[in-house]
Amino acid sequence: MGPSGDGDGGRRGGPAKGGSGGGAGKAGGRTGAKGAPGQQGGGPRAQRSTGGRPTGGGGRPGQGGAPGKGGPGKGGGRRGAPARPREYDAQIEERNRSRHDKPQIKLPKTFGEVEGERLQKVLARAGMGSRRACEELIEQARVEVNGKIVLEHGLRVDPEKDEIKVDGLTVAAQSYLFFALNKPAGVVSSMEDPDGRQCLGDYVQNRDTRLFHVGRLDTETEGLILLTNHGELAHRLTHPRYGVKKTYLAAIQGPLPRDLGKRLKDGIKLEDGYARADHFRVVENTGKNYLVEVTLHEGRKHIVRRMLSEAGFPVDKLVRTWFGPIALGDQKSGWLRRMTNTEVGMLMKEVGL
């Protein structure tokens, strides 16, 4: 009996055998009227046929995938991808989660860049001179790092951690700023004033770095006040433990008794306890007008004015001329200047930095 069509062609949409595509070939992927498969014809060959691939020559491929009269076709078109089991999706999600939860790997130091900067570069950036001049400082054994004299140029240091000194004075190698301001009378000793009065912040408003003042001066007191972003230095300069001395010039009315200096040094009793001067001298005398110099290491509010007033000599004008080793000098009122490296080094030495 001649083959009229491939039996599997009826089931999977394979082509009908024998040129004309008759019989089950017309079903071409459709079931018969009752959804039954096409006539069996190829025997073992039909069993090897796969959906959508030709299994014999001469015939046209069936129109696979179209629904037949008896129901939907079972083959003809490409099979869809099998659905993934939920367990597989859960495994992928768990694997991704564990990948992102891994601790960060710390690379050994040998994998990173060389730590620190060359000493002469740090010194030059700190304002100690050109790089060549800083190399000469090293050659002259004038530079110390962490208490040891350095004689080699290539030493690398960490400006944030290592203590660097030149001629025994600490070098502020970090990104710190130090300013000295001659505060005019009427300026409030704060960086901002809610009442809109002129304050210290008005003199440094063009600075990107936040600065703060070291101690205070009364609003009507003039003279030297320091500004910095070095918190530890500012703290020590104002802490009673370090006893940093401040010197003032006070204009008062005479005549003055000879023992005024002794009384101030012995201590003047105030409402918040005794206050003592470390030094007192008359700088100038014109008739009844006296200009006296008072040095003390206390920082209580209005301390100089209260001491002289309690002694019987109210202050007409008060100017601070020294803060520790830093002098006001001939700096004009309202002028802000950057402190020198030597001045910064002396300040740090004063408080053990």
Q: CATH number of the domain that 228 lies in?
A: 3.30.70.580
190 and 299 both lie in a single domain: no
Task: Answer yes or no: is pLDDT of 113 > 80.
Answer: no
> Which whole number is the average pLDDT over 279-296?
94
Averaged pLDDT score across all residues of the chain = 75
Task: Answer yes or no: is pLDDT of 98 > 90.
Answer: no
Q: Note the pLDDT of residue 192.
A: 87
Q: Note the pLDDT of residue 171.
A: 81
336 and 205 both lie in a single domain: yes
Q: Note the pLDDT of residue 66.
A: 44
Task: Answer yes or no: is pLDDT of 7 > 50.
Answer: no
Task: Answer yes or no: is pLDDT of 293 > 60.
Answer: yes
Task: Answer yes or no: is pLDDT of 186 > 70.
Answer: yes
> Which whole number is the average pLDDT over 339-346?
88
Confirm if 314 and 304 have CB atoms less than 8 A apart.
no
Task: Answer yes or no: is pLDDT of 305 > 70.
Answer: yes
Residue 41 lies in a domain: yes
Q: Note the pLDDT of residue 168.
A: 86
Q: Which amino acid is at 201?
A: G
2 and 141 both lie in a single domain: no
> Taking CA 79 as the corner, what is the angle to CA 74 and CA 85, rounded to the nearest 5 degrees?
110
Residue 139 lies in a domain: yes
Q: Note the pLDDT of residue 81.
A: 53
194 and 342 both lie in a single domain: yes
Quote the tokens at residue 25: 């070939």
77-91, 229-243, 324-338: least confidently modelled range: 77-91
Residue 305 lies in a domain: yes
Confirm if 190 and 199 have CB atoms less than 8 A apart.
yes
Per-range mean pLDDT, top range of 15-24, 51-60, 116-125: 116-125
Residue 97 lies in a domain: no
Quote the tokens at residue 141: 């054994």
Residue 193 lies in a domain: yes
Show the domain range for 60: 1-72
pTM of the model as a whole: 0.57
Residue 86 lies in a domain: no
Task: Answer yes or no: is pLDDT of 173 > 50.
Answer: yes
162 or 21: which carries more pLDDT confidence?
162
5 and 62 both lie in a single domain: yes
> Which whole number is the average pLDDT over 154-175?
81
276 and 315 both lie in a single domain: yes
305 and 338 both lie in a single domain: no
217 and 335 both lie in a single domain: yes
Q: Which residues contact 15 (CB under 8 A, 6 or more apart)?
A: 6, 9, 21, 25, 28, 54, 55, 56, 59, 60, 61, 62
Residue 78 lies in a domain: no
Catalytic residue among 6, 101, 167, 218: 218
235 and 345 both lie in a single domain: yes
pLDDT tens, residue by residue, 136-153: 899 899 999 988 999 888
339 and 216 both lie in a single domain: yes
Distances (CA, A) of 309 to 285, 303, 304, 312, 315: 19, 10, 8, 5, 7
Confirm if 233 and 353 have CB atoms less than 8 A apart.
yes
Burial of 178 (0-12, 13-18, 19+ CB in 10 A): buried
Q: Note the pLDDT of residue 120.
A: 84
Task: Answer yes or no: is pLDDT of 59 > 60.
Answer: no
Task: Answer yes or no: is pLDDT of 64 > 70.
Answer: no
19-23, 192-196, 198-202, 305-309: least confidently modelled range: 19-23
CATH number at residue 261: 3.30.70.1560
222 and 342 both lie in a single domain: yes
> Which whole number is the average pLDDT over 41-67?
44
> Which whole number is the average pLDDT over 242-258?
93
* DSSP percent split of the chain into helix, strand, coil, nearest 5: 25, 20, 55
> Which whole number is the average pLDDT over 244-263?
93
Q: Note the pLDDT of residue 8.
A: 42
130 and 262 both lie in a single domain: no
Distance CA 197, CA 177 (A): 25
Residue 100 lies in a domain: no
Q: Which amino acid is at 310?
A: E
Confirm if 76 and 13 have CB atoms less than 8 A apart.
yes
Distances (CA, A) of 50 to 15, 36, 53, 78, 334: 11, 19, 6, 11, 97
Q: Is residue 266 annotated as part of the catalytic site, yes or no?
A: no
97 or 56: which carries more pLDDT confidence?
97
The number of folded domains in the chain is: 4
CATH number at residue 135: 3.10.290.10
Task: Answer yes or no: is pLDDT of 245 > 70.
Answer: yes
